[in-house]
């Protein structure tokens, strides 16, 4: 089980899938409450296509250390990603690519805004969490505001309806039964995520990395139209692929081959 130590000493765990002669290294970031194991299929497909892939369990998720569902500062995730990149460089000197889905997409975008001198060859952002497609219950919003400073580590239930993830029932059933999906959101994490959702659009002009957005027209988790407007506002090299009938996890859709083909075509163009 490969590990690395985050800047604050937190132990982070990742999975790796390495071909003999990789074209590039893909660093994969999962969504909120999620974990690296759910993206094994993506890692294996990237490996089969000639890309080394490294799938990180974000802090507070999966096998990594940290309080479940809590963030002290969003910037900790950016430091974790920078440390992750250094560890990957020890394994291969090939160009590095990012693939972030949902919450991982938000982390990837903020990283690209704050680390412009440390080049990423290209990034795929899948259903980024720039805003929700639904309004959380009033009691959750109230507790999130009141306890953000008073009790930021208070664990609150925030498990997604599994049927909103994919059009593939097997994917949704596995998610619902997965004990490694923690389904927790603390007031401190909610505050930091909302901060990042404001900061990313405000600093979007700093992004210089080529981007591919994969967006689902029937996304019931995040606001795909907000993400599309954000992508359209960018001035750099940006591609948008809109899958009108897909749900949130387009790489776990019954027609995932189409989306995965778009990812590979983009990677081939940038490395």
State which residues form the domain around 30.
3-270
Residue 105's pLDDT band, with cuts at 50, 70 and 90, is very high
Q: What is the pLDDT of residues 111-121, one digit of tens each?
A: 999 987 788 99
Q: At residue 5, does pLDDT exceed 90? A: yes
Question: Quick one: pLDDT at residue 57?
Answer: 98
Under DSSP, is residue 230 helix (H, G, I), strand (E, B) or coil? helix
Domain count, the chain: 1
The tokens for 174 are 């596995």
Average confidence (pLDDT) over 64-87:
97
Kindly report the pTM of this predicted structure.
0.96
Q: What is the pLDDT of residues 9-21, one digit of tens each?
A: 999 999 999 999 9
Q: How far is CA 160 from the centre of its chain?
A: 16
Q: At residue 147, does pLDDT exceed 80? A: no
Q: For residue 61, what is the DSSP state? A: S
Residue 135's pLDDT band, with cuts at 50, 70 and 90, is confident
Q: At residue 129, does pLDDT exceed 80? A: yes
Q: What is the pLDDT of residues 169-208, one digit of tens each?
A: 999 999 999 999 999 999 999 999 999 999 999 999 999 9
Q: What is the pLDDT of residues 205-253, one digit of tens each?
A: 999 999 999 999 999 999 999 999 999 999 989 999 999 999 999 999 9
Under DSSP, is residue 56 helix (H, G, I), strand (E, B) or coil? strand
**Sequence-ordered list of residues with C-beta below 8 angstroms from that of 242, at least 6 positions apart, any chain:** 215, 217, 228
**Sequence-ordered list of residues with C-beta below 8 angstroms from that of 105, at least 6 positions apart, any chain:** 29, 125, 126, 127, 128, 129
Question: Quick one: pLDDT at residue 137?
Answer: 76
Under DSSP, is residue 204 helix (H, G, I), strand (E, B) or coil? helix
Under DSSP, is residue 30 helix (H, G, I), strand (E, B) or coil? coil
* Mean of per-residue pLDDT scores for the chain: 95
Q: For the domain that residue 83 is a member of, what is the CATH number?
A: 3.40.50.1820
Percent of the chain with pLDDT over 90: 89
């Amino acid at each position: 089980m490969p590990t690395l130590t985050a800047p604050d000493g937190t132990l982070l765990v990742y999975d790796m899938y390495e071909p003999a002669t990789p074209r590039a290294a893909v660093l994969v970031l999962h969504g909120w409450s999620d974990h690296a194991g759910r993206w094994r299929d993506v890692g294996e497909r990237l490996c089969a296509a000639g890309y080394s892939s490294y799938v990180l369990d974000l802090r507070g998720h999966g096998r990594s250390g940290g309080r479940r569902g809590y963030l002290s500062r969003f910037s900790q995730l950016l430091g974790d990603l920078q440390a992750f990149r250094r560890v990957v460089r020890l394994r291969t000197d090939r160009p590095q690519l990012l693939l972030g889905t949902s919450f991982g997409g938000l982390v990837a975008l903020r990283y690209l805004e704050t680390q412009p001198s440390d080049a990423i060859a290209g990034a795929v952002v899948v259903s980024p969490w720039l805003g929700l497609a639904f309004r959380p219950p009033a009691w959750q919003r109230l507790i999130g505001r009141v306890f953000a400073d008073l009790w930021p580590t208070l664990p609150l239930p925030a498990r997604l309806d599994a049927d909103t993830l994919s059009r593939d029932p097997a994917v949704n059933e596995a998610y619902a039964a997965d004990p490694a999906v923690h389904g927790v959101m603390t007031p401190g994490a909610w505050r930091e995520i909302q901060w990042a959702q404001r900061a990313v659009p405000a600093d979007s002009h700093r992004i210089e990395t080529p981007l591919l957005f994969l967006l689902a027209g029937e996304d019931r988790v995040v606001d795909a139209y907000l993400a599309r407007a954000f992508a359209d506002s960018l001035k750099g090299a940006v591609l948008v692929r809109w899958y009108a009938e897909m749900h949130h996890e387009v790489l776990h859709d019954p027609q995932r081959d189409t989306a995965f083909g778009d990812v590979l075509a983009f990677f081939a163009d940038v490395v």
